[in-house]
Amino acid sequence: MDIGLFWQGLVFGLAIAAPVGPIGVLTIRRTLVGGLLAGLLSGLGAATADAFYGSVAALGLTVVSGFLVQQQLWLCLIGGLFLVYLGVKAIREKPTAVSQAALPVETTDHLRAYTSTLFLTLSNPVTILSFTAVFAGFGIGSQTGESRTGLQLVLGVFLGSALWWLTLCAVVTAVRTRLSPAILRLINLASGLILAGFGLALLASLLTL
């Protein structure tokens, strides 16, 4: 195993996960509402999607990447509408004080947290173009014999992204019990507006496709 390439992938995974976009806002909000596990599973959904796109780019699967890019219109439409829905839902929710012991969350809610962010991240197939460009810079994906090396880089990307989500959720969990209902209401309002804004921006981008 090429340890150097793995660490490069780890740093790259941290870099692509750290910017606060719609997934970050959604993960923070879910951590506040549902606790560490709900937030972490949301982040891991995004990390899984990044790993999938990274694998496609690393293995040079042009048929898969071409198909996903061709379906960009429908994926962006569904993803944009879903973000608007999540934003409106967050704005309308009336929070209560968070107790020291988080309320139990159903397994179905955990599954929904993971699959929803997985879908939202996959709904932007242009991401694969970014991975292709980066991997080309590493000299990965141009030859089938380099598939093992490419997967080492992908593993680093996934673990780097997962490390970021774990750190973020742990920090949010540490402060969530200190937030009053009034502050939680402001967070819900702000996060809802941001999510809806990202959704509307994604829908507006369809005009240029």
- Number of helices (H) and strands (E) in the chain: give both, helices first: 9, 0
Query: CA 173, CA 102: separation in Å to the nearest integer?
Result: 10
Query: CA 29, CA 153: separation in Å to the nearest integer?
Result: 30
User: Which is more confident, 10 or 64?
Assistant: 10
Query: CA 147, CA 140: separation in Å to the nearest integer?
Result: 8
What does the DSSP 8-state code read for residue 207? G
Query: CA 118, CA 47: separation in Å to the nearest integer?
Result: 8
Residue 143: per-residue pLDDT: 46
Q: Is the pLDDT of residue 5 over 90?
A: no
Q: With H, G, I as helix, E, B as strand and everything else as coil, classify residue 166.
A: helix
User: Which is more confident, 114 or 178?
Assistant: 114
Determine what percent of the chain is predicted with pLDDT higher than 70: 74
What does the DSSP 8-state code read for residue 139? T
Task: Give the angle subtended at the CA of 140 by the CAs of 22 and 209, to the nearest 5°.
Answer: 40
Q: How many domains does the chain have?
A: 1
Q: Are 177 and 98 in contact (CB under 8 A)?
A: yes
> In this structure, what token pair is assigned to residue 30?
């879910």
Boundaries of domain holding 183: 3-208
pTM of the predicted structure, to 2 decimals: 0.78
Q: What is the pLDDT of residues 115-147, one digit of tens each?
A: 999 998 888 766 666 676 666 665 555 444 455
Q: What is the mean pLDDT of the chain?
A: 79
> In this structure, what token pair is assigned to residue 5?
């390439």
**In this predicted structure, which of 63-72, 95-104, 175-184 has the lowest mean pLDDT?**
95-104
Could you tell me how far CA 186 lies from the centroid of its own chain? 23
